[in-house]
A and B are shown apart, each in its own frame.
Chain A
Amino acid sequence: MKKFFLYLTSVILLLSIFVFPASGANKPPEKGEQLPTINLPIPKNPDERNYLGLSGSGLFKIPQIKAKVVIIEIFSMYCPYCQKDAPGVNELYRLIENNADIKDKIKLIGLGAGNSSYEVGVFKNNYSVPFPLFPDKDFEIHKACGEVRTPYFIVVKINPDGTHQIVHTQLGNYPGAEPFLEIVLKASGLK
C-alpha cells in the first residue's frame, strides 16, 4: 500500500510539473506585465542583426534588442488577417525608419506562430517584409504567450536598467501605420 501511495505521489508530481504550468500559461501577456521568456536566434543576416543592435551568434531575449520600444507581431503565414495587414505593418516599419527622432528607439519584429522557417520565408518574400521575422515551428512561443489569435501585437518598453514592461497589447484591429504608431508612442511615453 505504501508503495502505491509513493507511486501516486510521483504521478501527481509529474502532472504538476508538466501539465499545470502549461495550463497556467494559457493567459495572454497583459499590459504592466513582463514578457514570458522567449529565446530567439540572433539573425544570420547582418542587416537584421544591425537593425536589432545584436552581435555574434546564439540566442537572444527580446529585452536585449537595442531600443527603447519593441513592437512584436505574433502572426502566421496561414492567417488571412495577417496577410491583409502585412502591407500596413511594413508601412509602420518605414514610418519609423524614416523618422530620425524615433528610428533608433523603436524596433519591430514578427514571430510566426506554428510556422517553419520555410513558411516564414514564404510570408517574408510574398509581402517583402523589411523587418526580422522568426519561426515558432512548434508553437513554443505561441503557448508561452497564451495561444493568442493572430495577428496579436505586443508593445514592450525597455528601461535603461535593462528591465522591461508590456505597455500595450492588441488582437487584430490594426488601424493602419500612422494611428498605430500614435498608440505606440503614447503607450511607451516616447511622446
Chain B
Amino acid sequence: MEKKKLVIFILLGVLSAFVSVRMAFPISDAYKGNIYQLGTLKPIDSVLKVKVGQPAPDFTLPSVSGEKVSLSQYRGKKNVVLSFVPAAWTPVCSDQWPGYNIAKDIFTQNDAILLGITVDNIPTLFAWTNQMGQLWFPVLSDFWPHGGVAKKYGVLRSNGVSERALFVIDKNGIIRYIDVHDINKRPPLENLAAALEKLKK
C-alpha cells in the first residue's frame, strides 16, 4: 500500500514539473535573456485590507523620474488606477506595463491616471522600465519601508513582493474596483477598461 502511494506521488511530481513548463509566457525579445523565470507561484498569497466603497489609504512614494507622488494629489482632479506588479525582471510583469503604455487612450478617455508600483528600489525600476520604451505614467517604488503601501492595501505576499493587483479609485478617493489577480497571469485589459467606463455611470 505504501509503495502504491509512493509511485502515485512520484507520478504527480513528474506531472507537475511538466505542467509548470506549460505555464511559460511569451516574453518580448526586448528583454533578451534577462528575465528571471520563477515557475508557477501560489496564485494569491495575502489578505486584502480594503474593500470596494471604502476610502483608499493615502500614500506618498518616490517615482523613477525623481519627484514624490501622493495619491491625495489627484483628489478631485483625476480617477486613479494603481497597478501593483510583483517584481522587476520577471515574466508576466515585464509585459503588463508596456501594454498599458499603448492603451493611454483608455485611461485619458475616462479621466484617469495610472500609477505603477512595485517593491523594487529606484535604480532597479529605472533599468527595467528603460527596456519598455518611454512610459507615459509614473512608476513608484514601494521599497522602503519595504512594501509599506502594498501592506496597507493588503497585497504584500509572504515573500516580500506584492500581488499583481489593480485598484481603481475615483476622484473622491473611494475604491471602486479591485482585482487581485492570479500572480501567474496577466489581467485582461478589457476588465480594467470596463471598470473605468463604469466610473462615468
- On A, residues with C-beta under 8 Å from B are 4, 8, 11-12, 15, 19-20, 22-23, 26, 74, 76-84, 113-114, 116, 118-119, 122-123, 126, 139, 142-143, 147-151, 171-172
Contact = CB atoms under 8 A, between A and B. Distances in A.
Interface string B95-126: 11011011100100000000000000000000
6 contacts: A15-B15, A118-B188, A118-B190, A118-B193, A126-B103, A150-B28
Given A80-B133, A83-B133, A149 B28 contact: yes
Interface residues of B, number: 33
Interface in B122-164: 131-133
Given A80-B28, A150-B26, A15 B188 contact: no
B171 interface: no
Nearest to A136: B26
Interface of B: 4, 7-8, 11, 14-15, 18-19, 21-22, 24-30, 95-96, 98-99, 101-103, 106, 131-133, 186, 188-190, 193
A159 B133 CA distance: 41
A44 B23 CA distance: 31
By DSSP majority rule, is chain B's interface helix, strand, loop, or mixed?
A: helix
Contacts of B15: 15, 19
A171 B29 contact: yes
Given A22-B21, A118-B193, 8 more contacts: A23-B22, A78-B98, A78-B186, A79-B98, A119-B99, A122-B102, A148-B26, A150-B27
B188 A147 contact: no
Contacts of B95: 76, 78-79
Given A8-B7, A80-B133, A83-B98, A19 B26 contact: no
B26 A149 contact: yes
B189 A119 contact: yes
A88 to B, nearest CB: 14
